[in-house]
Structure 1
Amino acid sequence: MPKTYRLQLGSLVRHLPVMTLPNGVTIASFVLLGDAELTHWAAEQLLKKLNHLDFDYFVTVESKGIPLAQEITWLSGRKRYFVLRKGVKDYMVSPLTAPVTAITTSADQQLVLDGTDAAKLKGKSVVIVDDVISSGGSLQAAEKLLQQADAQVVNRLAVLAEGDAQKRQDIMTLGTLPLF
């Protein structure tokens, strides 16, 4: 039987598979995609942490943060959020790019902001929302892209902080995950 890690967030319990990545790091694999109950609960709780902060948009990183951004946007009464993609798409106009290194992906990646979206974000205040922050590589690349777009990051939210990210004071989270 595969080893699992018991994660409890509020009254919700999930048993996450423990797996070793090709880079040798062992994690409890948290996948928010498809878990509507946890996504809704997390969005409600994270929205409370913002404590009526004034901002314009939520921004997330493709792909596991998307359902969370969708739900928190809807619950906050906003009608739009933005997704930083992991590759340039043919439909994009003058995309902005930033390299990213994440512990869960061994290949080089980039984050991409469509130039059309960048124009909408210019001069706006944003909150970055994601599922897990670990090394902070995706968050750093997201902030670089948003800075290029002349948007101001006013807060950072994640369901979980993993490893050393637990010590960060610049993100709001609902729980932690160990690195094994």
Structure 2
Amino acid sequence: MSKYYELRLGNLTRKLPLIRLNPTLTIASFVLLGDAELTHYAAQKLSSMINEPFDYIVTMESKGIPLAQELSHCMGKKRYIVLRKKVKDYMRDPRVLAVSAITSSQEQVLVMDGEDAQMISGKKILLLDDVISSGGSMATAKKLVEDAGGHVMLEAAILAEGEASERKDILYLEKLPLFD
């Protein structure tokens, strides 16, 4: 087996290292952080595909942050919300939910600041991440948004990995296979 998977997005090509997570699962490791060119391209492409109106983008720490920043700019949104991976001292009335994701062997949580929860109450939300795979992170994010009174209008990502690429309820730019 090759040590890399070649990802093509438009005219951009990236060599993603293959990482064995366990004896039966290998993934192509997609790290958006630091790749300004790909982030900009993906945000422009996603913005042209999003037809539903929304008020705020909500993303998860950390790889979704640059995409949310760029997509907010492309779509004329002044603010976006980041769900953090732990409670921060500056947060007021944080809301915490456990999450499971295939790329993390340790228990994780997603945290919404109480002020962000108030801001999105009654608002239309675009959930955004770099990759949707098992859907665990997105499901937890969606529950946090809905518990705060927000209405998730659309879930979007750059890549849909494995079975997520068969879903009809998400928007994504390209499929990313899983490997045995």
Could you say whether these structures have the same fold, taking a TM-score greater than 0.5 normalized by the shorter chain as the test?
Answer: yes
Gaps of 5+ in 1: none
State how far apart, in whole Å, the 2-side matches of 1:57 and 1:126 are.
Answer: 5
Secondary structure at 1:105 match in 2: coil
Match of 2:132? 133
State how far apart, in whole Å, the 2-side matches of 1:128 and 1:113 are.
Answer: 13
Match of 1:86? 85
State how far apart, in whole Å, the 2-side matches of 1:54 and 1:16 are.
Answer: 33
TM-score, structure 2 as length reference: 0.96
Deviation at 1:25, TM superposition (A): 2.1
In 2, are the aligned partners of 1:96 and 1:148 still within 8 Å (CA)?
A: no
State how far apart, in whole Å, the 2-side matches of 1:17 and 1:50 are.
Answer: 30
State how far apart, in whole Å, the 1-side matches of 2:85 and 2:166 are.
Answer: 27
CA RMSD, 1 decimal:
1.1
Aligned length in residues: 178
Deviation at 1:24, TM superposition (A): 4.7
State the 4+ residue runs in structure 1 displaced beyond 6 angstroms. none
- Structure 2 residue 2 is the aligned partner of structure 1 residue 5: no
Match of 1:45? 45
State how far apart, in whole Å, the 2-side matches of 1:36 and 1:24 are.
Answer: 33
Match of 1:72? 71
Match of 1:165? 164
Alpha-carbon deviations, 1:11-42, whole Å to 9, x = none? 00000000102575200000000000000000
Secondary structure at 2:54 match in 1: coil
Secondary structure at 2:178 match in 1: coil
**Matching of residues 85-124 of structure 1 within 5 Å:** 85-124=84-123
- Structure 2 residue 147 is the aligned partner of structure 1 residue 153: no
Deviation at 1:98, TM superposition (A): 1.2
In 2, are the aligned partners of 1:23 and 1:106 still within 8 Å (CA)?
A: no
Alpha-carbon deviations, 1:33-86, whole Å to 9, x = none? 0000000000000011112x2110111011000000000001111110000111
State how far apart, in whole Å, the 2-side matches of 1:54 and 1:172 are.
Answer: 14
- Structure 2 residue 31 is the aligned partner of structure 1 residue 31: yes
Match of 2:61? 62
State how far apart, in whole Å, the 2-side matches of 1:44 and 1:90 are.
Answer: 35
State how far apart, in whole Å, the 2-side matches of 1:90 and 1:25 are.
Answer: 37
Deviation at 1:141, TM superposition (A): 0.2
